[in-house]
Structures are given as structure tokens and as C-alpha cells.
Amino acid sequence: MKKLILTLIAASFAIISFAQPPSAFNYQAVIRDAEGNILAGQEVSIKIEILAGSESGTVAFRETHLVTTNDQGLVTLPVFGGDHDGMWIEIDWSADDYFIKIYLGNSTGTDFQEMGTSQLLSVPYAMHANTVATEKQELSVSGTEMSISGGNSVNLPETYENFTVTGTTKVGESGMIISEIKTITGTTDATNNSVAFDMPDGYTEENTHVLSVEIKKAVSSPTPSDYNYGLGYVGTNGTVGYRFGYSSLVPIGQSQYRMVIYYPDELKNLPFKVVLMKTGIRFIPI
């Protein structure tokens, strides 16, 4: 087969638009032969390498594309969308500078010629947003000190416009004192439309506020996901609700107060979570 000598004379980049960070970006080029004539309807192969650190750096990713030029000799291909070695998702875009090197070859994917190298500037780095979900850190508050895991800490002011940080939390200058918040988890009854559990120690009907009641159910349509059904949800034969109960005759060590959750049939035998807030007296150290 007659060997073709090809040159790359123009190139441009464009983001492929997605609702989330893009998984590829467009590469466009005009292909001409050695005499400068446009090659229309010509099948060519393009090899792309992503280099780390410099124009002669280590190859972090490599792929090839087999494409056909249009009437103007133009080819368009998605970088990170060809036959590849490795995975682009493994590239740590925040760790180094990266460069793209282009090779041009014939229709059989051989006789590649190096066409040039240039630094990647902003387009691919939007892909770094795909890795953010795995870089989770925990934020915690102890007294007036707020810190982040693996990071720094800051001291918060003791007073704010809407609340004051004390031994407990006070909402508003003369508002409710929050003593503590607890989460109760369990599973709804498989045969009955209610489930009951003991209130935590110190929680009574008078000092307890129910912040949320959630019953989790997997739903397959339109896409598989978990739905949380809370207070006020109306089902086939009832509504999600709750009440407090009191018993004067209970074994020693058990709470006299109980909470009962009510739910319709479709929420039987499912995990639930209840968040309770206890209000109390603010203790001032002396």
C-alpha cells in the first residue's frame, strides 16, 4: 500500500457539554497531504498521548482513533473516547501539569508520525470534579473550635446574631435551649402498621421534639434509588405519623416513655430513622 505523508495544520478543542462534569472533550483537525492538498473522505488514524510534567514527560494515558475526514478534510474525535491504554479517571489532574501529544497514521493504524505537543490548560481539569466525591473530609465542632479532618481548626465567636454557643446550644437570645439531639434507627414491623421503641434516657413527652421521621424504601422506577417517606406521607391505608406513650409500670432501667410510629402497608419491614431533639436547662459553669 502506498505510504501517505500527512501533516496536521490546524487543531482546536471544545468541551462536550453534559449536565455533569464531562467525560471527554472534542479534538478537531484539518488533514492535508505533503503538498498541502486537503484529504477529503480519507480514513486516517490518530494516536493521542497525555504526558505528565512536561512535553517529554511520562505517558499517563494513550489512545488511538480511526476516523474519516469530511469534504473539507476535517476530523472530529472525542479525547478519552478511543481505544485506550489505562483509564483517564486515574489521572490526578491536581498533581501535575499535563500535555497532549498528537500522532497521525494511516488507515491501518500504523506509520504514526508525531505532529506536535501542547500543554492542556483548562478544559480537562473540569474532569477533576469527578474525583471530588472520593475526597470526603469530616467537619466537627467541639465547644467553640471547628476543625476538619486532616486539616486546620478555627475558633468560632461565642456569640452570633441568632444564637449563642454555650455548654449547650441556645437558639435566639431568649429562645429554646437545645440540650442534645439523638438518632434512633430500626426496622418497621413486618406484620403490623406500627412500631414502638423506648425513648432515650431523660427524654420525655414534655421536653422532646421530633425533628424527622424517615422510612427508607428502594424504588426501581424511573431509576433505582432510595426514597425517604416521612411525616405526613399518605399511603394506601394510612399516613406516616407518631405519638408518645407513657407507662408507670416498667422494669427498672427502662424508660417510662415510648414513641410509636404509624405507617401504611407499603412501608412495612423497612429501615427507619427518627431524629429527636431534647430541650433542657442551660448549665452555666461556676
Residues 106 and 192 in one domain: no
Q: Using CA of residue 281, residue 277, residue 198, residue 141, what is the dihedral sign?
A: negative
Residues 28 and 97 in one domain: yes
Strand, helix or coil at 200? Answer: coil
CATH number of the domain within which 110 lies:
2.60.40
Q: For residue 61, tell me if it sits in a domain.
A: yes
pLDDT band at 93 (very low <50, low <70, confident <90, very high): confident
Residues 142 and 195 in one domain: no
Q: Is the whole-model pTM more than 0.75?
A: no
Q: For residue 94, tell me if it sits in a domain.
A: yes
Q: Cα(87)–Cα(80) distance, rounded to whole angstroms?
A: 8
Residues 27 and 123 in one domain: yes
The per-residue pLDDT for range 184-225, each reduced to its tens digit, is: 999 999 999 999 988 888 888 888 889 899 999 888 766 677
Residue 13 reports pLDDT greater than 60: no
Comparing 21-25, 117-121, 127-131, the range with the smallest average pLDDT is 127-131
Residues 225 and 141 in one domain: no
The whole domain housing 255 covers 175-279
Q: Give the residue from 280, 236, 233 showing the smallest Cα distance to 261.
A: 233
CB contact at 8 A, 218 and 224? yes
Q: Cα(222)–Cα(226) distance, rounded to whole angstroms?
A: 12
Average pLDDT over the chain, rounded to an integer:
77
Q: For residue 285, tell me if it sits in a domain.
A: no
Q: Which of 27-31, 47-51, 277-281 has the highest mean pLDDT?
A: 47-51
Residues 106 and 142 in one domain: no
According to the model, what pLDDT value does residue 184 have?
93
pLDDT band at 18 (very low <50, low <70, confident <90, very high): very low
Q: For residue 1, tell me if it sits in a domain.
A: no
Q: For residue 158, tell me if it sits in a domain.
A: yes
Count Cβ atoms below 10 Å from residue 94 Cβ, excluding itself. Answer: 9
Residue 2 reports pLDDT greater than 70: no
The per-residue pLDDT for range 152-184, each reduced to its tens digit, is: 788 776 666 665 555 556 666 666 677 788 899
* Neighbouring residues of 85: CB distance < 8 A, sequence distance ≥ 6: 61, 62, 63
According to the model, what pLDDT value does residue 15 have?
41
Angle in degrees, CA 46, 51, 54, rounded to 5: 130
Q: For residue 284, tell me if it sits in a domain.
A: no
CB contact at 8 A, 176 and 191? no
According to the model, what pLDDT value does residue 267 have?
93
pLDDT band at 148 (very low <50, low <70, confident <90, very high): confident
Task: Identify the residue whose cell numbers are 467525560.
Answer: 23
Of 75, 110, 133, the last residue of a domain is: 133
Of 148, 166, 184, the last residue of a domain is: 166
Q: For residue 271, tell me if it sits in a domain.
A: yes
Strand, helix or coil at 78? Answer: strand
Residues 191 and 264 in one domain: yes
| Residue 232 CB-half CA count within 13 A | 1
Q: Which of 68-72, 128-132, 138-142 has the highest mean pLDDT?
A: 68-72
Residues 101 and 13 in one domain: yes
**Beta-strand relationship, 257-262 and 194-198:** antiparallel
Task: Say if residue 267 is exposed, middle or buried (CB neighbours under 10 Å; 0-12, 13-18, 19+).
Answer: buried
Residues 117 and 194 in one domain: no
Residues 36 and 123 in one domain: yes
Residues 92 and 11 in one domain: yes
Q: For residue 69, tell me if it sits in a domain.
A: yes
Q: Using CA of residue 202, residue 208, residue 210, residue 213, what is the dihedral sign?
A: positive
Residues 25 and 116 in one domain: yes
According to the model, what pLDDT value does residue 20 have?
45
**Domain tally, the chain:** 3
Of 108, 133, 158, the last residue of a domain is: 133
* Pairwise pLDDT comparison (81 vs 248), residue with the higher score: 81
Residue 84 reports pLDDT greater than 90: no
